[in-house]
Amino acid sequence: MTKLSVNINKIATLRNARGGNMPDVLKAAIDCQTFGAQGITVHPRPDERHIRYSDVTAIKPIITTEFNIEGNPIPKFIDLVLKAKPTQVTLVPDAESAITSNAGWDTKSNLSFLKSTCRTFKEAGIRTSIFVDPVPEMVQYAAEAGCDRVELYTEAYAREYASGREEAIAPYLSAAREAVRLGLGLNAGHDLNLDNLRYFNATVPGLCEVSIGHAIICDALYMGLEATIKAYLAELGQ
């Protein structure tokens, strides 16, 4: 079964746009869990323009499902993750100014840094995942870095899905097969939605988890959060 982890960054974006505590990010995390999500994802950035560092430490004790913290492992982020002790940390190479994640790691060029970072988190008992483009070589070096999983960056798949889903998914099949061969767990995320999720889940081998935020919150504006989460679970065959 592929787990659904709901990224609640956009709920925090809405809260921060007005000030105060509406919508309530902590309540949203609990509600997503209650509505069936098997994980909660947050991606705190240094400027705290959506999820704040204080949100991260407040969410951990109030949920019982898996907690995934993703971000660029700068010292401040590493300290936060070690304090919060989530189920999983996902290492993402996003610049501070990035609107959203837009590339996976060059795991070959950054091998030494990623090895050290993975070791730090694994010694703390935190499952580590490295965000990569769908390139078998990047998966190979991620495995050498010592991670437990890789997360495939699915923006290209989502962009090209409408013009030819078989061609769009081909690189992901190669990368996923390499991950399976190397004994890595496999996650995926970025621009997965109700149009393209079912095919991706049914076609890519070894998929453990998908992390979806923007599309879920957009759909929830029309469908409501509970109905939306249930719709995404249905696309995953649940």
Could you confirm whether 43 is annotated as catalytic?
A: yes
Residues 6+ apart with CB under 8 A from 153: 101, 103, 104, 131, 132, 133, 134, 189, 190
Considering only CA atoms, which of 218, 209, 213, 217 is closest in space to residue 236? 209
Q: Check 50, 66, 70, 178 and give the catalytic one.
A: 70
Residue 53 corresponds to which amino acid? Y
Question: Could you please report the per-residue DSSP string of 167-200?
Answer: HHHHHHHHHHHHHHHTT-EEEEESS--TTTHHHH
Q: Check 66, 151, 178, 190 and give the catalytic one.
A: 190
Could you confirm whether 190 is annotated as catalytic?
A: yes
Cβ contact 178:136 at 8 Å: yes
Cβ contact 189:223 at 8 Å: no
User: Hey, what are 183's tokens?
Assistant: 């004994």
Rounded distance between C-alpha atoms, residue 227 and residue 180, angstroms:
33
Composition of the chain by helix, strand, coil, percent to 5: 50, 15, 35
Considering only CA atoms, which of 110, 104, 102 is closest in space to residue 130? 104
Could you confirm whether 48 is annotated as catalytic?
A: no
Active-site positions read 43, 70, 190
